[in-house]
Structure 1
Amino acid sequence: MIQTQQITKSFGSLQVLKGIDLTIYESEIVSIVGPSGAGKTTLLQIIGTLDLPDSGSLYIKGTNVGELKDKQQAAFRNQNIGFVFQFHQLLPEFTALENVMIPALIAREKRTEAEKRAKNILEFLNLADRMTHKPAELSGGEKQRVAVARALINNPAVILADEPSGSLDTKNKEELHRLFFELRDKMNQTFVIVTHDEQLAKDTDRIIHMQDGIIID
């Protein structure tokens, strides 16, 4: 599903990633853990094609993403990668339904089809009665589930999550974690999760430990 080969990345004189070799398999839930400054988020951003490595290769579903031109890479990201961030990053002026539809509309899907699928996903995530609410009218847990729905709308190959439960209370955190595993079981969804949450990491299929820009086990 995902393979990185000798990925390096520096910011000025600071080398953040020092030759990362990593393979993620389809329908796998993988957590990336390590101290602050280990390079976890930088690696996630490179896998998500939000940033470019200085050297090395990234393959997603057999495609060498680094060989794609900018527009091709943006289209590939839109179709194959979903993102869930710590603070959900919903657009405040749009309803939950509209926020979920945005990636599908960017992919130039017909609005009627995008709306139908967005409604189906929100219903699956128990948000049927919150579709017309704007983010300010939603709880923290509801916002994060809307963010998950948005990540799912284009049926991506992988969802990348950066501290997805970091801003949630214990109850909502546990619900979000259960949701990830339910999506894997019902939709064969692949997840790569950067987290400091020890319980979430222990529950995942595989834990990748990073330190000082390298994978240590």
Structure 2
Amino acid sequence: MKGILYGVGVGPGDKKLLTILAVETLKNADMIVVPDTGGEKTALNIVSEYIEGKKLMYCSMPMTRDAASLQESHRNSAELICAQLDKGLNLAFITLGDPTIYSTYIYVHRLVIEKGYQARIINGIPSFCAAAAKLGISLCDGKEALHIIPASYEGVDKLLALDGNKVLMKSGKSILNIKDKLKKHNLLSNAKMVECCYMENEKIYDDLENLNENSSYFSIIVVKGD
């Protein structure tokens, strides 16, 4: 019998925010798949105490926007995973936040399913929900709309013009440009940010007016109103 791939969301940065189901899945897995971007293994650090003694499989996931390179890494990862599933092993692919929100995992998930294997998603706490909690605010009340925006990509101006509240993800090195765009749309005074939410170097910004340097890739901006 072939094994099953589980995409496990490990939350925003604190092991205490792992769901019970995520912990159970990690403990029951035969092997842990670790996305390797060449930098710090944040997701691995979060789950470390729950996977002691388990075999690890590192899959190269370069931090690039080159479509060909990304597709190749996804295909290679899917092939490595399927080879283990053929042995009857159950694999847990760990990913920050939730696997359904801007996660590399979902591309591998689709490829594995296309090859005829089973793959299941274990939800995690999304970073923007954790950030809103840290800020002590709601993301949407009543009939308010909520827009999730990849801040470092094209089309941000058009999305900022939409009615409702906004969450801007993947700000990082584009933060000063995003700040200018928020000011252009008269939204700067409505914006708050959490950098590295629930991580050791967490920073909370109730005001972006005096922000004058690039922030971490793990930065979430919440904009209330329009």
Q: Same fold (TM over 0.5)?
A: no
If you compute each CA radius of gyration, which structure gives the higher value, 1 or 2?
Answer: 2
Higher helix fraction (1 or 2):
1
